[in-house]
Each structure stands twice: as C-alpha cells, then as structure tokens.
C-alpha cells in the first residue's frame, strides 16, 4: 500500500508541473492583454506599429519579405527590413490580415510571446531546479521591470519579443552539454540552433549580447568535470564545450544569414553604416548611487532618462547567492555560473565598465545603452532565484507549501512591478500619420538619426518633407508621357514617349537594389538631385520601362548560406527519423521558395486617364474596392513636364443621383512634397483617401478628379481637350 501511495504521489507531481505551466501560460497571456489596454503611447511603439502595418500591406500584395517599405519617408521609401530584424513583425501582421485591428493584433501577438517566454523560462529552469522553484524563477523573468519598461515606456517591441529566446538558449545549452554520444543529432542541439536563428531575426542587438555572454562564460562551463569528455584535461573539455555550444550557434548564423549578411555587408549604403561617434553610451552608465531602486514599488524612469535602475530585490538576491555558495551543495556549480553571469551583466551597466566599452567601442558602441544588458540579466536573476529556492524547498520540493510559496513570490513580484505608466495612444497609424510625425519632429522614417536613409540623399533629413533650403536651378520642360502599364508593391512598368533624350526620375530614393530596364535592356540607374531619387537616362522615342527590386549579391550569398543551414537541419531531422519535424521543415522551405519566386506578388493595371493640365499630366488611376465606412484609396499617377504652381487635387465620388456624396482635397503631391520638389521628368503617384459614409450601399459609384490653384477652388483647371474641369477616373466598387 505504501508503495502504491508513493507511486500515486509521484504520478501527481508531474501533473502539478503541467498544471503550473498551463496556468502560467493562461495567466501571463491574460495579464499582458489586459495591461496593454489602452495601448501605451511610447516613443518607439508607434513606429513599430507602422512597420507592422507596412508588412501586412506587403503580405496582402503577395510579397513575403519586403526589404523596402515604399510608403515610408514621405512616400520615397525606406529599406527598413533590409537592415532591421523582421521576425517580431510577422505574428501581428498575419493576425492583422486575418481581420484583427492593428493594435489588437499586436496586443495578441505580444501577449502570446510573453506567455511563451514564461513557459520557456520554466522549462529551462526546470533542468536545474525543482518545479516550484523553477516556477518562481520564471515568474521573476516575467515581472522583471526592464522588460515591462521596454513595452510600456520605450515601446521597444522587438526587444520585448526577444525575451522569448534566452530561455530557449539556456534550455538547449543544458541539454546539449548533457547529451551522450551523437549530441549533434539531439533535440537540444536542433532547438539551440533554431533559438539562435530566432534571436538574430528578432533583435540582432540582443543576439550580439547573448553571443558575447556565451564567450565570457564558456571557459567557466568547461570547468565542470561533468562536461564531456569527463576524464580529460581542461583543454579538451573546453574544446568539447566550445563545439557543443558553438556549432549550433554557427548553424543558427547560417539559418539567419539571408537577413544578417546583407545587413552587415551593405550597412554602408544607409546612415546606420556612416562613420559616426560611438561614445553615446557614456551618458547612460549607472553609478553605484543610482544602480538600484529602494522604493517599495518600482518607479519606471521616463524614456528620456539616462539610466534604468535595477529592481529592489536584485542586489540582495546577488548577495544571498554569494553566501549560498558556501552551503548549497547539489547545485553549487550552476549557482556559481548564474552568479558570475549576473554580476558580469550588472557590471557592464555601470560606470566602472567604461574602459571596456571604450576599448571595444566599435562593437559595444552599437548597443547604444548599457542598460540593454538587463535583457539577459532577467534570466540570470531568475536562475539565481530558482536555485536558491530549490535549496529552501529541498526537504519537500513538490509539496503544496512549495507551490504556494512560489505562487506567492510571483504575486509579490508582479505587484512590485505593476505601477506602469498609463498614457494611451491617441495618434493614427496610417502612412500619412507617420509623415506628419516625421515632419513635426524633423526626422525620417520614424527615426531621428536617419539610420535607414540611403547615403545618396544629400538634403538634411528635417527638410525632406518640405521645400528645399536651396531651391534648384530652373530646368527646361520635359516633353514626356508615361502611362503605367502594371504596378506592384515593388515593381512598375511604364509605356513612355520622349520627344527628346531626357532624364526620367521616379518618386523613390535611389538604392542599389533597384533595377531599371528600358525595352528589355538594363540601364544603370543613378541618384538625382539632393533627394537622391532614382533616375535613368531615356533616349527619344517610344519605350517600355520596367523598374523592380532585385536581390543584391550579398542577398544571394545570404540566401545560399541560409539554404545550406536549412539542408543541415533537414539532414539532422532525417537522422533522428523525425517525420513530423521533417514535414514542417519542408513546408517552411516551400513557403520560402514560393516567396523568393515572386509568383505570389500581385500587380494591377491602372485605368488610363491621360489628362494634360500643362505642367503635370494625370496619366492613370487605380481604384481598389472598399467596404462602407472605410476610405476609398484613389491612387493617381502623374507625370511632371515642368515644375507646377501651387495646386490642389480634388477627388469626387458621385452618388446614385449624380451629386457629390464624398470628396477630398489635398495639395498635389501631398503636403509633404511642395511644388519645388516636383521637377520636370518626375513620375510620381499620390493616394487620396476619401472617407465614405458608413451607410453607403453596395454598388458602383463614379469617381472624378481635377486640379485647382491653391486658394481658388472656384477656378478649377481644365485639361487639354476636356469640356469640363473634372476628369472621369473610373468606378468605385463598394462591397459588403
């Protein structure tokens, strides 16, 4: 009977762990979902939402990995995802495509990632501590103030999402070190490689910090004689440890090379690679007086504050861990390793580490803020807490008292960290809202440093959405017509007629990935003017010109390395006879191939209009279907034959009775492209958003447009050969 009772108790213990992880997942998801209502107004949060919106639009048009967002930077475009890690934007973008609002989709995605990071921390700490102790450590990582500061104060959503990966790295590393025999085929080795790739694709600065921490702790890990080969010298154990931890990391580098390699090799094409001082970190070191807070509840600093203090419990936890090294036997090595990592990470945030930062400024300077190391410190402190509590719970490690104690600690940690700022977001999240924000703050693409601005743009970034500070010299008129034949997300084809040789300029920044073909023959594009716009020389006559985004050499090299990494993972799955894993991995490969092929990318044929207003020609229009209560997005395609006067474009939508039921007026080229920016030979488009009545019935409605001089709406211009000022664009289809 006693044996049966013991067996039953042993059977209940794993069930308690599963229940604990299930409750952790549910409660963490709900807590973060509720905590982000209303969505906080933060310095960086809106720009990440804008990037999510832009990615969703690209996916809607069949472009799986858009390295260029065409509606950023006042419509001149920006190579955001060519340089910024893309992974954190995909979950909310896909949810947005499924019908959720942009903010709701982001809240759901972040809540799920937050909960999964807690579950990953629990599983990782479970490998070195009892389940209740691991639960307490996982709750500490979830309630760590810096990660909530990332979300609610800074709005650093990718870094917040990156908290998912360090626990998986720890889980995989512990498993790899313990794996016997063919360790490289173990599940832990595969997980470790995928976690490194996921971290690099989510937030490359966190990946850099994790790699540096691995290098710093590697010699200590090899000290333990339990690391294979068990009875060999320290040198052989060090080499074995380096292989077991380094080779999966290298495989992760291969998997993520399609993004990381072009971002590194082609950094000099944008502001992020410009030579600039890297000593900005010096203003953000903590001193011993402001290293940690002593308040009973954490007081979050402002986003403009120079430092982010450690929580109240951090220093006592470190001190307790140091003392526990004397009496904690079973987990002493793990405690010492976690303590070393935590102390190193804390030290790197302080003024005393400045000499090291100065010595490694070309590398560490990329981090910008020393307090970023708290991203990894959260897990290190969670590990310390789990190991210490494991000693406390040693007598009855899975008793009800142990579980209750772990839960109580978690509640106290969340109460301590929950005094979050609550300023709701009030601004819009459309492209025009981004332009208005940039124009107001003198920045570009949502960043004040211009880090993604192509280096061929000579104009100061604060002037890009307004008239030039140095007006261009007068240019002769351009005898040019340019009818768009096909227009996609990152490609366009025009039927051109030029009466004489001239330079055709497009309304997008020059970037080496743009390819231009005239009559099927590649023509080398060049940057034009102080805006560095994409331009090409066009001979006289009739021509067909195609502009498309093409992979650069670095992109092809990165793709090749990622394909090699994909094949290695497939080989390891085959050796493990993991049929389900192979099926999933093959499916991911097919999706990647489909995206690379371009077969899914959509293009539209705008309806010809050909209305000549003198200095500008309205060549064509595109009017996609719309739902009632939304906005009709009428895209107009213009050719500038001369620099126009200050003109206003208007779009009218007629009701069944022929009267105007909806309209919108705005400056030609938008308010952020004044007439002086519209030079002869420029091909540009303008999307006019016309709000529609919510009660509008399904059907087809005529759309008309025209121009009038600014301030003279009663004196509209009439296009050559037209009897009336308004030009018919086509029909708007309203669907239910």
Tens-place pLDDT, residues 574-590:
999 999 999 999 999 99
Rounded Cα distance between 240 and 219, Å, is 11
The mean pLDDT of 369-387, rounded to a whole number, is 97
Contact predicate 536/528, CB 8 Å? no
The mean pLDDT of 522-547, rounded to a whole number, is 96
The mean pLDDT of 51-78, rounded to a whole number, is 96
Sign of CA dihedral 453, 454, 459, 464: negative
For 542, the token pair is: 């009739």
Rounded Cα distance between 198 and 252, Å, is 8
Same domain, 508 and 379: no
Same domain, 197 and 324: yes
Of 528, 548, 568, the residue that ends a domain is 548
CATH number reported for the structural domain that contains residue 497 in this entry = 2.60.40
Contact predicate 595/65, CB 8 Å? yes
The mean pLDDT of 219-227, rounded to a whole number, is 78
Place of tokens 């890990």: 221
The pTM for the full model equals 0.93
Neighbour-count burial of 224, counting CB atoms closer than 10 A to its CB (0-12 exposed, 13-18 middle, 19+ buried):
middle
Same domain, 108 and 187: yes
The mean pLDDT of 602-614, rounded to a whole number, is 95
Same domain, 22 and 144: yes
Of 370, 398, 417, the residue that ends a domain is 417
- How open is the CA angle 703-705-706, to the nearest 5 degrees? 165
The mean pLDDT of 313-322, rounded to a whole number, is 95
- Residue 229 is predicted with a pLDDT of 59
- Residue 278 is predicted with a pLDDT of 60
Same domain, 630 and 540: no
Q: Is the pLDDT of residue 102 over 50?
A: yes
Rounded Cα distance between 605 and 626, Å, is 18
Rounded Cα distance between 314 and 11, Å, is 36
Q: Is the pLDDT of residue 77 over 80?
A: yes
| φ/ψ (deg, to 5) at 721 | 80, 0
Does 491 sit behind a cis peptide bond, omega within 30 degrees of 0 on the bond before it? no
Same domain, 525 and 628: no
Q: What is the pLDDT of residues 465-500, one digit of tens each?
A: 888 777 777 888 999 999 999 999 999 999 999 999
For 515, the token pair is: 């390819």
Structural domain includes residue 713: yes
CATH number reported for the structural domain that contains residue 644 in this entry = 2.60.40.770
The mean pLDDT of 159-186, rounded to a whole number, is 94
Structural domain includes residue 626: yes
**99-103, 364-368, 377-381, 562-566, range with the lowest pLDDT:** 364-368
Nearest to 147 by CA among 138, 157, 137, 135: 157
Same domain, 529 and 625: no
Q: In what order do the strands lie in the sheet with 682-691?
A: 526-528, 533-538, 502-509, 682-691, 631-640, 616-622, 607-612
Structural domain includes residue 72: yes
- Residue 22 is predicted with a pLDDT of 85
Place of tokens 């009559």: 519
**R_g of the chain computed on alpha carbons:** 29
Same domain, 158 and 10: yes
Rounded Cα distance between 575 and 186, Å, is 10
* Domains of the chain: total: 3
- Residue 733 is predicted with a pLDDT of 95
Rounded Cα distance between 210 and 86, Å, is 18
Same domain, 512 and 627: no
Tell me the pLDDT band of 150, cut-offs 50, 70 and 90.
very high
Neighbour-count burial of 365, counting CB atoms closer than 10 A to its CB (0-12 exposed, 13-18 middle, 19+ buried):
middle
Q: Is the pLDDT of residue 7 over 50?
A: no
Structural domain includes residue 616: yes
Give the domain extent around 682: 612-734
DSSP reduced 3-state for 640:
strand
Q: Is the pLDDT of residue 387 over 60?
A: yes
State the distance between the two ends of the chain, measured CA to CA, in whole angstroms: 69
Tell me the pLDDT band of 440, cut-offs 50, 70 and 90.
confident
Rounded Cα distance between 201 and 194, Å, is 10
Nearest to 333 by CA among 373, 407, 383: 383
Structural domain includes residue 586: no
- Residue 462 is predicted with a pLDDT of 87
Question: What share of the chain in percent tops pLDDT 70?
Answer: 96
- Residue 227 is predicted with a pLDDT of 55
Nearest to 649 by CA among 554, 585, 579, 726: 726
Q: What is the pLDDT of residues 224-257, one digit of tens each?
A: 766 555 567 888 889 999 999 999 999 999 999 9
Q: Is the pLDDT of residue 275 over 60?
A: no
Average pLDDT, the chain: 91
Of 374, 393, 417, the residue that ends a domain is 417
Buried b (16+ CB within 10 A) or exposed e, 190-208: bbbbbbbbbbbbbbbbbbb
Q: Calculate helix-pair angle for 204-221, 187-202, nearest 10 degrees.
A: 140
Tell me the pLDDT band of 629, cut-offs 50, 70 and 90.
confident
Neighbours of 659 (CB within 10 A): 8
Q: Is the pLDDT of residue 350 over 70?
A: yes
Structural domain includes residue 668: yes
Same domain, 106 and 230: yes
Contact predicate 622/635, CB 8 Å? yes
Residue 588, Cα to own-chain centre: how many angstroms? 20
In sequence order, what are the beta bridge partners of 683? 506, 639
Same domain, 134 and 259: yes
Same domain, 82 and 182: yes
Tell me the pLDDT band of 87, cut-offs 50, 70 and 90.
very high
Q: Is the pLDDT of residue 676 over 70?
A: yes
Nearest to 516 by CA among 487, 497, 490, 536: 536
- More confidently predicted of 342 and 596: 342
Q: What is the pLDDT of residues 636-669, one digit of tens each?
A: 999 999 999 999 999 999 999 999 999 999 999 9
Q: Is the pLDDT of residue 276 over 60?
A: no
Per 3-state DSSP, the chain is made up of helix, strand and coil in percentages (nearest 5) of 50, 20, 35
Structural domain includes residue 567: no
Contact predicate 60/97, CB 8 Å? yes
Structural domain includes residue 201: yes
């Amino acid at each position: 009977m006693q044996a049966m009772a013991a067996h039953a108790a042993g059977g209940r213990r794993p069930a308690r762990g599963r229940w604990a992880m299930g409750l952790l997942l549910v409660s963490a998801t709900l807590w973060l979902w509720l905590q982000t209502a209303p969505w906080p107004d933060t310095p960086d949060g809106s720009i990440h939402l804008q990037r999510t919106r832009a990615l969703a639009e690209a996916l809607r048009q069949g472009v799986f990995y858009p390295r260029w967002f065409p509606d950023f930077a006042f419509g001149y475009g920006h190579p955001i995802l060519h340089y910024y890690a893309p992974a954190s934007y995909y979950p909310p973008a896909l949810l947005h495509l499924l019908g959720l609002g942009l903010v709701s989709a982001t809240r759901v995605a972040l809540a799920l990632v937050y909960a999964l990071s807690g579950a990953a921390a629990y599983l990782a700490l479970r490998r070195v501590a009892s389940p209740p102790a691991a639960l307490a450590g996982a709750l500490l990582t979830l309630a760590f103030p810096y990660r909530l500061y990332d979300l609610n104060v800074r709005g650093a959503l990718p870094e917040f999402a990156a908290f998912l990966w360090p626990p998986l790295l720890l889980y995989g590393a512990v498993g790899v070190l313990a794996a016997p025999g063919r360790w490289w085929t173990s599940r832990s080795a595969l997980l470790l490689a995928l976690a490194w790739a996921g971290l690099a694709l989510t937030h490359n600065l966190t990946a850099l910090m994790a790699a540096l921490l691995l290098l710093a702790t590697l010699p200590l890990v090899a000290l333990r004689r339990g690391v294979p080969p068990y009875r060999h010298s320290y040198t052989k154990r060090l080499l074995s440890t380096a292989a077991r931890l380094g080779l999966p990391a290298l495989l992760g580098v291969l998997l993520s090379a399609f993004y990381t390699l072009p971002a590194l090799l082609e950094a000099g094409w944008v502001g992020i690679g410009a030579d600039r001082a890297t000593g900005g970190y010096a203003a953000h070191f903590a001193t011993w007086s402001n290293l940690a807070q002593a308040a009973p509840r954490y007081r979050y600093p402002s986003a403009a504050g120079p430092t982010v203090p450690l929580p109240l419990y951090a220093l006592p936890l470190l001190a307790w861990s140091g003392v526990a090294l004397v009496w904690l036997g079973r987990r002493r090595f793990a405690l010492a390793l976690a303590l070393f990592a935590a102390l190193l990470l804390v030290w790197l945030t302080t003024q005393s580490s400045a000499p090291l930062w100065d010595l490694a400024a070309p590398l560490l300077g990329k981090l910008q803020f020393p307090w970023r190391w708290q991203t990894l410190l959260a897990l290190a402190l969670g590990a310390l807490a789990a190991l210490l509590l494991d000693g406390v719970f040693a007598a009855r490690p899975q008793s009800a008292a142990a579980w209750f104690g772990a839960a109580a600690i978690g509640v106290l940690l969340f109460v301590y960290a929950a005094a979050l700022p609550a300023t709701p977001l009030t601004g819009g999240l459309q492209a025009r809202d981004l332009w208005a924000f940039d124009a107001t703050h003198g920045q570009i693409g949502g960043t004040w440093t211009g880090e993604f601005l192509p280096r061929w743009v000579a104009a100061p970034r604060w002037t890009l959405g307004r008239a030039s500070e140095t007006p261009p010299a007068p240019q002769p008129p351009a005898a040019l017509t340019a009818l768009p034949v096909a227009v996609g997300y990152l490609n366009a084809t025009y039927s051109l007629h030029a009466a004489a040789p001239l330079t055709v300029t497009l309304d997008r920044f020059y970037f080496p990935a743009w390819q231009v073909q005239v009559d099927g023959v590649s023509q080398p594009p060049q940057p034009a003017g102080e805006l560095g716009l994409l331009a090409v020389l066009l001979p006289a006559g009739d021509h067909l010109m195609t502009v498309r985004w093409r992979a650069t050499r670095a992109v092809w090299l990165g793709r090749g390395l990622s394909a090699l990494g994909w094949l290695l993972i497939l080989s390891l799955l085959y050796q493990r006879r993991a049929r389900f894993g192979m099926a999933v991995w093959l499916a991911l490969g097919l999706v990647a191939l489909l995206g690379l092929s371009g077969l899914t990318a959509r293009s539209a044929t705008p309806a010809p209009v050909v209305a000549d207003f003198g200095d500008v020609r309205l060549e064509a229009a595109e009017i996609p279907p719309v739902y009632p209560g939304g906005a009709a997005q009428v895209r107009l395609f213009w050719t500038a034959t001369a620099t126009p006067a200050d003109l206003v474009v208007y779009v009218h939508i007629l009701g069944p009775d022929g009267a105007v039921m909806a309209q919108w007026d705005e400056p030609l080229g938008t308010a952020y492209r004044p007439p002086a920016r519209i030079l002869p030979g420029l091909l540009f488009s303008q999307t006019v958003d016309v709000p529609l009545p919510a009660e509008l019935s399904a059907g087809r409605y005529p759309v008309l447009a025209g121009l009038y001089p600014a301030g003279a709406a009663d004196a509209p211009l009439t296009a050559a050969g037209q009897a009336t000022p308004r030009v018919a664009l086509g029909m708007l289809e309203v669907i239910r």
